[in-house]
Structure 1
Amino acid sequence: MSFQLGQDRLTTALLYQQVVQGKPEYVLPAASRERVKRYRQLVQTALDSGKTYYGINTGFGYLSDVRIESSKLNQLQDNLVRSHACGVGDYVEPAVVRGLLLLRAHTFSLGYSGVSEACLDTILEFLKHDILPMIPSQGSVGASGDLAPLAHLALGLIGEGRVLYQGEVMPAAAALEKAGVKPVRLGPKEGLSLINGTQFMAVEASIAVEEAKVLTQSADIIAALSLDALRGTLKAFDPRIHEIRPHSGQKQSAERIRAMFQEHDPIVESHADCSRVQDPYSFRCVPQVHGATYDTLGFVEKQINTELNSVTDNPLCFENGEILSGGNFHGQPMALAMDFLGIAMAEIGSISERRTEKLTNPNLSGLPAFLTRESGLNSGYMIPHVVAAALVSENKVLAHPASVDSIPTSADKEDHVSMGPIAALKARRILKNIANILSIELLAACQGIDLLAPLQPNPRLKRIYDSVRAQAPAMDTDRSLHDEIKNLSAWILDGSLLKCAEEA
């Protein structure tokens, strides 16, 4: 069913489904279009009054007191977009740009921005034809919105800059001509509306939330496989333990791990009478650690879902004809949420690395050193563990909050900024590292299972083991695991591991 712009509620899950997993499907209801026309008329009425309105007939930021004559108002908007489109760094992936276009269309359909139908229709044409402006990832401090990234988006809409179209990077003007789309001619306020707002950090945050959900749930499944390979005890996952500390995430994690052991497990039965009383924290405390991250994700997702349905540019138009300047573009809600997400997810990687270390350490695992039968001649999983340790250490640096920093801009007019885009980009980098860390643990766990032969895990875990082995054979002698780590990382991140577990 198509998403109704300006009417339905957008969520991180829906945005991810629309721009990452499939082609955007949306409609602009007649009521939303009528709302856009009505609010645009408020801008025109304000101009006709002869009064001064920030961003409509004035300069911007420190120059907000400079009145611009009527004949130059269109040029003012073009100049604003061009001057702000000066971002640097790697270009964001196509899914993020699609997300920006979709979210821009949705928020403008709420009306309060006061943009014209023509502006909104051009955004929809870009979505329809999959014309994606090239947007550098760096350059926003997240205060007056995501000025630099959104300016690059707007630059494409006016037919300038470069875009990705039909798999090729080309000048926007050339792409628009091929697609039969006319660039928008910006009217008063429209350039400012296009570059003000938190859409860049909100889209990055939405994708981060959905990736984090997949990784955290996958971490439970991988931990279960590692527990079997280590010949650990299931007592720590007894529901009675978690009922008397009933954090919802903790209970959810313990339940998911228990579910992986509901069938007859020869490995578990083989050590039923061993002398080991309890396992290291990285195994015994998985529900407590993973569960805290689940609970954090719940808070973060709620924050992002609110932002996705908010109007965050400036100034804003209201039904009574007032046009008010405020600070909805300030990214602090996104910045704090993304820093919290980064910290919580870094812990998923940290405890995973500890499990890999236990599997490779013969003093704790009872398995051959570094999970190889001829250790010494072979290094086995010695260096894959080192790679995991390196990524965990990098995540510790990345988990330092961006939101505690601020640097004044625009001649001290914008004197407190959020650094929300930096927080979101850091969080996504942490998630990529975690996908690799979990991939290494998964490979190590499967190698541990191999070394317990002829014992086999239960059918549920065996199905996951078989899926991994279809992509990465057992390592009898040393070889490069680079490709296997990379491929399994993508397999985990796209939800295939979870699908395999659900089918099992």
Structure 2
Amino acid sequence: MNNFVIIDGNSLTIEEVVKVARKGVKIKLSEQAKENIITSRKTVEKLIDKGQVIYGINTGFGKFSEVAISPKELEQLQKNLIYSDAVGAGDNFSIEVTRAIMLLRINALAKGHSGIRLETVETLINMLNSRVHPLIREQGSVGASGDLCPLAHMVLVMIGEGNAEYNGTIMNGKNAMEMAKIPIISLVAKEGLALINGTCAMTAVAALAVHDSYVLLKSADIVAALSIEALEGIVDAFDEKIHKVRPHKGQILSAKNLRNLLKESKLTTRQGEKRVQDAYALRCIPQIHGASRPAMEYVKAVVEIEINSATDNPLIFSEEKEVISGGNFHGQPVAIAMDTLGIAVAELADVSERRIERLLNPALNDLPAFLTPVAGINDGYMVAQYAAASLVSENKILAHPASVDSIPTCANQEDHVSFGTIGARKASQIIKHTQRVLATELVCAAQGADFKGKDKLGKGTATAYAVVRKKVDFLENDRILYLEIDDSQEIIKSGELLKEVEKVVGKIE
């Protein structure tokens, strides 16, 4: 049982999303979830038998909600919904995002407010567990009514249409299902709408982004600490007394992290020994990094709620025997959260690039110019800073909020949309850029530490140095650098840097 994540619609965590999406952990429905799904479906069938008019079950969709659909056309209505909504553009989502989308749709359906059949949910579970991954286009969602377009691409494979990846091969959906020995389904009343009306695409991207942003935030303190030593930074700025009199929690935690990482260092200085004050990129690390922490806490709280929410429409309330149309599909909570996350993470890259400049510019330090021992014939890390600057500048564009825009759709029936999926995708890209900038700083800081004396590093930074030096050697003469920075980025992204340092200094907050 421990090899499965149990899905009940209410208790899924971000870490479990990561396990299923990235590590291939399988899932099972709880018995209560099965009961809830069955009960909800029975409620829908009873209401249909009574001839009650219910949006999306025996009416058209959106502006066509006033059009009645005859009983014999209900199944065709659901299939047509999938066909018409599968109009995605651009590249496909990665397999890990696709798996997260499938998982979150299953979890939402498990709450028992969607009126879908149990066998339909189990089809999607079997696809996830057997690694049948629909090809889902990244672009096309306006974030209300939910993620109709990307989720329709997911459902195409369930009905033997569209395309999927299975065992590393791209094939049509019918073949993928046959090879995995999963029967394709025919959608009955309400099922097409239940499968696609919700925020699961934006929230899938968001959940993975939240996980990655926390790893990145903590790693940023580690990387910055190594830069402090390479630049013989002044540790007085991290004194606990300073931060207690401006008691922002994030600032206090970041300063504490730096103090712990720099314990036993013989490279740091005190105010007045070499300089009275450091530049802001060093002196204000707790204030800058710390400011991102409460923003990320807010984002995490939103995403934790959203991954356990019923976000389709209409919703079935079996105890009351009611079907109520509402707006839980609207992605505004996620949209604002993802815009916030993008800004919070972009700032980590901003200040990291400034530390790279201080490590490379001989006018700002006493290190060899561009960290090369033989200047002129060698450029060292000169152009690595150019690449970092390029990513920082691109982040500024990506950090423009998506949620402040709205283009009405569906003949003005859907007259305000969230663009939450765009916001989530942008935040995810900012995270990748920021990983790269910090990876560049990490190799530069390690190079600087070699010039200053790696044996003088602090307790935590010595470990950080050792981790990066397993993959990236000292730069004696110019060589191809991008693959080494790739390795450094993977050290940060995978959490290896954070994990190894925490073994030495304890938990990084």
Query: Which of the five TM-score ranges fits, normalised by the shorter chain?
Result: over 0.9
Partner residue, 1:316: 315
**Deviation of residue 15 (structure 1)?**
1.1
Q: How does 1:122-141 map to 2 (within 5 A)?
A: 122-141=123-142
| TM-score normalised to structure 1 length | 0.97
**Deviation of residue 273 (structure 1)?**
6.5
**Deviation of residue 17 (structure 1)?**
2.5
- 1:405 equivalent in alignment to 2:405: yes
Query: Quick one: distance in 1 between partners of 2:291 and 2:114?
Result: 38
SS of residue matched to 1:114:
coil
SS of residue matched to 2:90:
strand
The code of the aligned residue for 2:353 comes to: E
**Deviation of residue 454 (structure 1)?**
7.4
Q: Is the 8 A contact 2:335 2:423 kept in 1?
A: yes
Partner residue, 1:108: 109
Deviations 1:186-238 (A, max 9, x none): 11010011110000000100000000001110000000000000001111111
**Deviation of residue 7 (structure 1)?**
5.4
Per mean C-alpha deviation after superposition, the further-off stretch among 396-405 and 52-61 is 52-61
Q: How does 1:187-206 map to 2 (within 5 A)?
A: 187-206=188-207
Partner residue, 1:428: 428
Query: Quick one: distance in 2 between partners of 1:158 and 1:331?
Result: 27
Give % identity.
45
- 1:154 equivalent in alignment to 2:161: no
SS of residue matched to 2:91:
strand
Partner residue, 2:294: 295
Q: CA 1:284–1:409 in structure 2 vs 1: closer, same or farther (change >3 Å)? A: same
Query: Quick one: distance in 1 between partners of 2:74 and 2:297?
Result: 44
- 1:337 equivalent in alignment to 2:337: yes
Q: Specify every segment of 5 or more residues in structure 1 that has no aligned partner in the other structure, as ranges.
A: none
**Deviation of residue 23 (structure 1)?**
2.2
The code of the aligned residue for 1:287 comes to: P
Partner residue, 2:20: 18
Query: Quick one: distance in 1 between partners of 2:503 and 2:64?
Result: 60
The code of the aligned residue for 2:17 comes to: L
Deviations 1:450-474 (A, max 9, x none): 2224763134322221221221111
Deviations 1:51-108 (A, max 9, x none): 2211001111111111111111101101110111110111111111111221111111
Q: CA 1:152–1:454 in structure 2 vs 1: closer, same or farther (change >3 Å)? A: closer
Q: Is the 8 A contact 2:26 2:129 kept in 1?
A: no
**Deviation above 4 Å: which 4+ runs of structure 1?**
none
Query: Quick one: distance in 2 between partners of 1:125 and 1:7?
Result: 17
Deviations 1:426-452 (A, max 9, x none): 000000000110011001101111222
Q: How does 1:89-488 map to 2 (within 5 A)?
A: 89-263=90-264, 265-268=265-268, 274-318=273-317, 319-453=319-453, 456-488=456-488
SS of residue matched to 2:171:
strand
Q: CA 1:349–1:44 in structure 2 vs 1: closer, same or farther (change >3 Å)? A: same
Query: Quick one: distance in 1 between partners of 2:126 and 2:501?
Result: 40
SS of residue matched to 1:64:
helix
Q: Is the 8 A contact 2:339 2:401 kept in 1?
A: yes
Q: CA 1:8–1:112 in structure 2 vs 1: closer, same or farther (change >3 Å)? A: closer
Q: Is the 8 A contact 1:267 1:455 kept in 2?
A: no
The code of the aligned residue for 1:19 comes to: A
Query: Quick one: distance in 2 between partners of 1:100 and 1:424?
Result: 13
Q: Is the 8 A contact 1:435 1:492 kept in 2?
A: yes
Q: Specify every segment of 5 or more residues in structure 2 that has no aligned partner in the other structure, as ranges.
A: 505-509
Q: Is the 8 A contact 2:228 2:268 kept in 1?
A: no
SS of residue matched to 1:410:
coil
Partner residue, 2:76: 75
**Deviation of residue 162 (structure 1)?**
0.7
Q: Is the 8 A contact 2:10 2:309 kept in 1?
A: no
Query: Quick one: distance in 2 between partners of 1:397 and 1:30?
Result: 47
Partner residue, 2:34: 33
Query: Quick one: distance in 2 between partners of 1:477 and 1:50?
Result: 80
Query: Quick one: distance in 2 between partners of 1:215 and 1:260?
Result: 16
Partner residue, 2:47: 46
The code of the aligned residue for 1:246 comes to: P
Query: Quick one: distance in 2 between partners of 1:331 and 1:305?
Result: 14
Q: Is the 8 A contact 1:283 1:355 kept in 2?
A: yes
**Deviation of residue 5 (structure 1)?**
1.6
**Deviation of residue 47 (structure 1)?**
1.0
Query: Quick one: distance in 1 between partners of 2:468 and 2:408?
Result: 50
Query: Quick one: distance in 2 between partners of 1:173 and 1:482?
Result: 41
Q: CA 1:180–1:236 in structure 2 vs 1: closer, same or farther (change >3 Å)? A: same
Q: Is the 8 A contact 2:9 2:109 kept in 1?
A: no
The code of the aligned residue for 2:356 comes to: T
The code of the aligned residue for 1:284 comes to: R
Deviations 1:295-354 (A, max 9, x none): 111000000001011100011111211111111100000000000000010000000000
Query: Quick one: distance in 2 between partners of 1:24 and 1:187?
Result: 30
Instruction: Provide the aligned C-alpha RMSD in A.
Output: 1.4
The code of the aligned residue for 1:449 comes to: A
SS of residue matched to 2:375:
coil
Query: Quick one: distance in 2 between partners of 1:354 and 1:115?
Result: 53
Deviations 1:406-428 (A, max 9, x none): 00111111111000000000000
Query: Quick one: distance in 2 between partners of 1:251 and 1:79?
Result: 56
Query: Quick one: distance in 1 between partners of 2:453 and 2:5?
Result: 52
Query: Quick one: distance in 1 between partners of 2:180 and 2:453?
Result: 60
Query: Quick one: distance in 2 between partners of 1:54 and 1:18?
Result: 34
**Deviation of residue 29 (structure 1)?**
2.1
How many correspondences in the alignment? 501
Query: Quick one: distance in 1 between partners of 2:43 and 2:215?
Result: 44
SS of residue matched to 2:170:
strand
